[in-house]
Amino acid sequence: MMLARVSLRNLLRHPWQSILSMVGIALGVAVVIAIDLTNDSARRAFKLSNEMVAGQATHHIIGGPAGLDETLYRDLRVEHGLRQLWPVVEGTVRLVAHDAERLSVIGIDPLAQTDNSAIYRATRDLSATELLSTDNAALLTDATARRLGLAIPGELKVRGAGGLHRLRVTAAGKPGSALEEQALRAVVLTDIATAQVVTGRLGRLTRIDLELAGPEAVARVRRLLPPEAELAGSASRGNALRQMTRAFEINLTALSLLALVVGMFLIYNTMTVSVLQRHAQIATLRTLGVGDRELFLAVGGEALALGVLGVLAGIALGISLSHQLLGLVAQTINDLYFRLDVQKVSISALSLAKGVALGIGATVLAALAPALEASRVPPQITYTRSGQESAARSSVGRLARWALAPSAAAAVLLALPGGNLYAGFAGLFFAIFGFALLAPALLLLIVRITHRGLSRALGLIGRMAGRGVTESLSRTRVTVAALAVAVSATVGVGIMITSFRATVEHWLVNYLRADLYVSASGGAGNVDPGVIRRVAALPEVASITTARWTKLDGAAGRTQLFVLDADAAAFANFQFKHGDAAGAWPRFKSGEAVIVSEPYAYHNRRGVGDTVVLRTDSGTREFAIAGVFYDYGSDRGVVALHRDTYQRHWADAAISSFAVYLDPGVDAERFAAALERDVLAGSGLTLRSNRQLRALSMDIFDRTFAVTQVLRVLTVVIAVIGIFSALMSIQLERGREFAVLRANGFTPRQLWALVTTETGLLGLAAGVLALPLGLFLALALIFIINQRSFGWTMQVWLTPEHFVLGLALAVGAGLLAGLYPALRLARTPPSFALRHE
Amino acid sequence: MADADPIIALSDVHKIYPDAQRERTVLRGINARFRSGEFVAILGRSGSGKSTLLNLLGGIDLPSRGDILFRGMNISTLDERRRTLFRREHIGFVFQFFNLIPTLTVFENLAFTLDLNGIDRARAQQRVAELLSQLGLSDRADAFPDRLSGGEQQRIAVARAVAHKPSLVLADEPTGNLDRDTEHQVLALLRAMPGRDYTTVIAATHSPEVASCADRILHLQDGALAEAAS
């Protein structure tokens, strides 16, 4: 096919333009694939760890915060004859060595364990008596033992409830598959009794797994359960936990799609400029009898070729990038949601297929308009560039009117009641599209405004640069719109992160009022009440508040409880969105009411005056909501209740942390050093000053947004690459025009100044346009996307840095893109350029 | 005007361009017939409508009024796709600025219209080799157009116009961009192109040299076509 050859050679004739567009799509696809693979790997790791012990269990029995009484297991097995059930104790400990790495402790009954579970498969070659015959016996996988440098048999020192524990690792098992190996990487397996000791759950079980056949069996077990226990389907726990990370995943996916949209704009830009530049050639082809459909396919084919190559490169890059992102995403899940050990990226064919489909789809979509443009080129023998430019100028008003439709769609989607997150993202993308249509009109306005200044500052070159932009509107409008969109994305995300960070920082200052905070290390650790009494007795201590963080799992999901033993003054540290401290305190203290965090109220559609239903040890109970408070510690939300209320309804006296308020004038640092030395030494408790705790919180915040920052930088890279390519090609196209200037006495230096002023002006225009769009994106992210994802209220925090950076980025990209053509054109003898045009 | 065996005939053809202020009539009721195999030169001032007339004859543009019959088929009533196919099969174009496809070699430029017309590869290669040999440009077969002189480019353009043996070759200022020596070469080629006996050539030109080679000369003035006195 000769036409295909024409297309292919056209791509090869402009290798840098082709390669840069390809890189744009490759990076876009890489980001999408990397995020999908990372999310998928985290999901798989979660699923695997969830199934690890459950095996063939169809249901599980769960209790309150303190778990289940172990006698329930015995009763069900012995008294009621249930056979297919397996007790589990779960908790977390920290290794004494290896940077205090966290390990999950899973306690099982080796004699009852199902052979369908990964745990069993990993250890089935070992005798059940390995666990039962030795005190504090524990099993690891072979690989974990090697990783920890542990000889078998050997001793594993861990810090758990009550301090140091020595586990006797009697054997190491070999998991059945690499996935199981991964899931068991940070797991230590013990019998029930040992797990109860190291996690501080003496006489308690975390849950009982069961295999139940049919509704009758389910109903029978339900009848046998005490009020504090609940029977739930096995899938429900996983679903509830998965639900917690859903918004986080959606946000990452949307940001990765934003990178692809920027890549799409670049393909559109490249293809549009390429079609415009080949207008005369296309007209010749039309004259020779090439049909509109063939031209459409030829231009589409060119874009597709770039897209396919870009996608292939994007797959390789995406897989590589996912390895870098996995650590960041896993860290966030561990910081914010639940313990998850995920080390390896699972390369899923579905993720790759999604990336390929999105990459190709984006390319085809982006190439649609330029391909249509090519097919509509009339077969006129005489082609005039001025005609093309005049058509471009006359379309400015029409495009601005067309912008109304996507803008209206964006307004509707963003304002849609019900708060659908997907509709929010669709609204954002419509808004970007509408703005791109408006960009040519705004570009003309900016050039008109800057014209006089440029003319005064640079004389003839300034006037020519301004006119160069408007006289090449058919090309420059697309490039400026693409650059503006790309820069606005980084400005918008930047403002959103800064605002969020400032909001959290401000909240922490108000919320963390105590001088010192002491917490138990490890997830399972508790604070010894004796320690609290000793600290409270110290003369420098004005008051102490204790806190218990725990969760209630149920068929309907997980509820995070924050149990507070505080006085009215400490309670006043809560910042209320609805209700107030003075009004809520008496009801909170009396146990009549609880208060809920803003995300909890949002996700559960609850407010002041509504009730929260919680499963207590004596069955479900309704609590009135006395207030809704701001909280940025959990995106799923928490229910806060007074310690007295909690202990009335749940048999759990554990304390997770306590806060120390010192008398005025006491040197907090000196007191902390003494406290560490005299009271806390060897207790396994961690002491942090107010400043340290705030710094730690902000570290976690920054880690949470590390992935976002990576995506933001990648989006900028994609944009700069694409714009560089487009601006370069626009300038190189004007070789003859510049040769005429040189022939008429323009010096190479003047030419250099003209080209860079023009590309700089284009960059400036894009930068100026990017600022309002960036601000709009930021506001939409803050007030709509984050609200719909997490339910958080954020303060908008506008600092000049993002605007200055966005502007500098756009102008810098423009100037940089002008350098090469300016140098090349200035060095080319005018006679050569005139002869070869 | 020619009477016998018209390959293409114009009947009361008008072309009016809508303008911002007023309509601009370029052609007013043109009637003309062109025989198979004749060489016709159309003379006229710049802007007189010569290129417009060629565009209408080639089915590139449509008349505002009137009919253009190609072997009895009214091409003014064809849709865009059918006019494209008509051009592909029956028309050859020669442009003032050559308009070779810059990304194709000389050989490929000549094979292009053959490829469009579905001529198989072996026959196309044979035909192109034959044309290049007649032009004396066989050694430039693999060169890209930007490596050729203006004269060479226009000779290749003429060869491309006749490669698929069209019934009608339309040449718009075919020598307008060439020096006198090269003009002679191109004219000789247009007159003596392979298979010329059955191909009608209509050339719009300012050049007296082109006119002197023509079998007939038509003058386009004020939108009307008139036969020059012989």
Judge if A15 and A74 occupy the same domain.
no
Mean pLDDT of A312-324: 88
Judge if A159 and A251 occupy the same domain.
no
A383 or A75: whose pLDDT is higher? A75
- A696 falls within a domain: no
**Closest by Cβ to A381, choosing from B108, B111, B172:** B172
Residue A783 pLDDT greater than 80, yes or no: yes
**Closest by Cβ to B80, choosing from A9, A292, A381:** A292
- Pick the residue from chain B with its C-alpha nearest to A286: B84
Judge if A471 and A577 occupy the same domain.
no
- A226 falls within a domain: no
Residue B217 pLDDT greater than 50, yes or no: yes
- Pick the residue from chain A with its C-alpha nearest to B162: A288
Asked which of A654, A683, A712 is the last residue of a domain, the reply is: A683
Confidence of residue A834 (pLDDT cuts 50, 70, 90): low
Range of the domain at A767: 386-510+702-837
Min mean pLDDT across A97-106, A230-239, A601-610 is at A230-239
Confidence of residue A524 (pLDDT cuts 50, 70, 90): very low
Mean pLDDT of B194-221: 84
SS (H, E, C) A453-507: HHHHHHCHHHHHHHHHHHHCHHHHHHHHHHHHHHHHHHHHHHHHHHHHHHHHHHH
- Pick the residue from chain A with its C-alpha nearest to B145: A836
CB proximity B119 to A under 8 Å: no
Cβ-defined contact of A6 to B103 (cutoff 8 Å)? yes
Half-sphere exposure of A150 (CA within 13 A, CB side): 26
Distances (CA, A) of A41 to A32, A323, A395, A399, A628: 14, 10, 48, 44, 36
What is the torsion angle, in degrees rounded to the nearest 10, for the CA atoms of residue B16, residue B21, residue B22 and residue B25?
-40
Give the pairing of strands A593-597 and A619-629.
parallel
Cβ-defined contact of A284 to B116 (cutoff 8 Å)? no
CB proximity A287 to B under 8 Å: yes
pLDDT of residue A563: 92
CB atoms < 10 A from the CB of A387, how many? 12
- d(CA A746, nearest CA chain B) in Å: 27
Judge if A567 and A605 occupy the same domain.
yes
**Closest by Cβ to B93, choosing from A13, A288, A292:** A288
Judge if A765 and A653 occupy the same domain.
no
Judge if A531 and A494 occupy the same domain.
no
Confidence of residue A253 (pLDDT cuts 50, 70, 90): confident
In the three-class reduction of DSSP (H, G, I as helix; E, B as strand; rest coil), residue A637 is classed as coil
CB B172 within 8 A of CB B96: yes
Judge if A625 and A652 occupy the same domain.
yes
- Identify all chain B residues contacting A286, using CB atoms and an 8 Å cutoff: 60, 84
CB atoms < 10 A from the CB of A391, how many? 11
- A192 falls within a domain: yes
**Closest by Cβ to A289, choosing from B80, B87, B146:** B87
CB proximity A733 to B under 8 Å: no
Asked which of A329, A360, A383 is the last residue of a domain, the reply is: A383
Confidence of residue A618 (pLDDT cuts 50, 70, 90): confident
- A572 falls within a domain: yes
Judge if A159 and A277 occupy the same domain.
no
Judge if A82 and A116 occupy the same domain.
yes
Residue A195 CB partners (closer than 8 Å, separation 6+)? A89, A90, A91, A105, A106, A107, A201
CB proximity B17 to A under 8 Å: no
Judge if A679 and A584 occupy the same domain.
yes
Domain count, chain A: 4
Asked which of A362, A383, A404 is the last residue of a domain, the reply is: A383
Judge if A802 and A763 occupy the same domain.
yes
pLDDT of residue B186: 81
Residue A837 pLDDT greater than 50, yes or no: no
- A410 falls within a domain: yes
Rounded to 5, what percent of chain B is helix, strand, coil? Answer: 40, 25, 35
CB atoms < 10 A from the CB of B151, how many? 18
Q: Which residues 180-219 on chain B approach chain A with CB closer than 8 angstroms?
A: none
Cβ-defined contact of A1 to B115 (cutoff 8 Å)? yes
Domains and CATH numbers, chain B: 6-227 (3.40.50.300)
Judge if A377 and A394 occupy the same domain.
no
Report pLDDT digits (tens) over A558-604. 788 999 998 888 888 888 999 999 999 999 999 999 999 998 998 88
CB A793 within 8 A of CB A506: no
- E strand or H helix at A187, and its extent? strand A187-191
Confidence of residue A443 (pLDDT cuts 50, 70, 90): very high
For residue B64, the 8-state DSSP code is: S
Q: What angle (nearest 5°) sits at the alpha carbon of residue A235, between those of residues A233 and A236?
A: 70
The DSSP code sequence of A18-73 is HHHHHHHHHHHHHHHHHHHHHHHHHHHHHHHHHHHHHTT--EEEE-BTTBEETHHH
- A407 falls within a domain: yes
Residue A483 pLDDT greater than 80, yes or no: yes
Residue A494 pLDDT greater than 70, yes or no: yes
Cβ-defined contact of B99 to A382 (cutoff 8 Å)? no
- Pick the residue from chain B with its C-alpha nearest to A5: B104
- Pick the residue from chain A with its C-alpha nearest to B82: A291
Cβ-defined contact of A5 to B104 (cutoff 8 Å)? yes
pLDDT of residue A386: 67
- A235 falls within a domain: no
- A231 falls within a domain: no
Report pLDDT digits (tens) over A68-122. 899 999 999 888 888 888 888 988 888 887 767 788 888 888 777 655 555 655 5
